[in-house]
Amino acid sequence: MSTAQQIDTNTSVDVMTDTDQYLTFILAGEEYGVDILRVQEIKGWDSVTPIPNTPDYIKGVINLRGTIVPIVDLRHRFSLDAIPYGATTVVIVLKVTSDNGNRTMGIVVDAVSDVYNVAAEEMKPPPDFGAISIDYVKGLATVEEKMVIVLEIDKLLNSGVMENAEALLQ
């Protein structure tokens, strides 16, 4: 019994330290991070089935073991210049939560980079200007002298066309 309690306290200590792990990826030379617990899998780029009458950045849908998963090109989403997809181009499949439940979506990025531990207090709030709306940025972290832009994927991927869709439903 006492051992069990000890283990309990140990784990809770772990939780207390409040470090989150982030998977980072490269997009046009910058390093972006997403909460690793949201990452379902990383897969190589494969052709998609385009969906008619959707914005450019929705590349289309893929078959992920029987589930239809929409793929967002993050370069398009951030209005960066498109580059041809190459050997390092990957799709990161993420779980996105919204008011209407969970969704699975994939994002196309230039390459995956690393996994970092970032303590909550090390996270800096994003400056209130810049290319993309701060709504989509959770914060900025500094890892090994580099800046990592940690994304708020729920807001990012639920915004835009999905938002319109939900608004229409109401």
Partner 1 sequence: MAIDITQFHETFFEESFEGLDIMESGLLNLDIGAADNDTVNSIFRAAHSIKGGSATFGFTEVAEFTHGMETLLDEMRDGSRDVTQESVDTLLQSVDCLREMLAASRDKTPIDVDRSEVLKKELESILATGNNSSTLAASGELKDHDQASESNDREGWHIKFTPHHDMLRTGNDPVRMFRELAELGELIVDVDISQLPILDDLDPEESYMSWELTLKCNVEIDKVKEIFEWVEDECDFELSEIKSETPAPDSAEKVQDTSSEVDTSATLHRAIAAKPQAAKAAAGGKTPANTDSASIRVSIDKVDALINMVGELVITQSMIGQLDCDFDDFDNSRMEKLRDGLTLLERNTRELQESVMRIRMLPISFAFNRFPRMVHDLCQKLDKKIELKTTGEQTELDKTVMEKIGDPLVHLVRNSIDHGIEMPEERLAANKSETGIIELNAFHKGGNIIIEIKDDGAGFNKDRIKAKAIERELIGSDEQLSDDKIYDLIFQPGFSTAEQLSDISGRGVGMDVVRRNIRELGGNIDVTSEEGQGTTFTIRLPLTLAILDGQLVCVGDEIYITPLVSIVESLQIKEEFVNNIAGQTELYKVRDDYIPIVRMHDMFGIGTKRESLEGGLLVVVEGDGKKAGLLVDELLGQQQVVIKSLETNYKRVDGVSGATILGDGTVALILDVDGLIDLSRNPPAPARNQESSIREVA
Distance CA 123, CA 71 (A): 28
In the numeric block, the tokens 């073991």 are attached to: 65
- Closer to partner 1 by CB, 89 or 159: give it: 159
Q: Could you tell me the smallest distance in angstroms from the CB atom of residue 120 to partner 1?
A: 25
- Closer to partner 1 by CB, 5 or 129: give it: 129
Site residues for partner 1 per CB under 8 A = 47-57, 60-63, 66-70, 76-79, 103-105, 131-133, 135-136, 159-162, 164-166
CA nearest neighbour of 115 among 41, 40, 38, 34 = 34
Q: Could you tell me the smallest distance in angstroms from the CB atom of residue 40 to partner 1?
A: 11
Q: Could you tell me the smallest distance in angstroms from the CB atom of residue 112 to partner 1?
A: 21
Residues paired with 152 in a beta bridge: none
Q: Could you tell me the smallest distance in angstroms from the CB atom of residue 89 to partner 1?
A: 18
- Closer to partner 1 by CB, 62 or 92: give it: 62
Distance CA 142, CA 122 (A): 8
- Closer to partner 1 by CB, 105 or 118: give it: 105
Which helix (H) or strand (E) segment is 77 a member of?
A: helix 74-77
Do residues 40 and 97 make contact, with C-beta atoms less than 8 angstroms apart?
no
- Closer to partner 1 by CB, 11 or 49: give it: 49
| Neighbouring residues of 167: CB distance < 8 A, sequence distance ≥ 6 | none
Q: Could you tell me the smallest distance in angstroms from the CB atom of residue 50 to partner 1?
A: 7
Dihedral pair phi/psi, residue 145, rounded to 5°: 70, 0
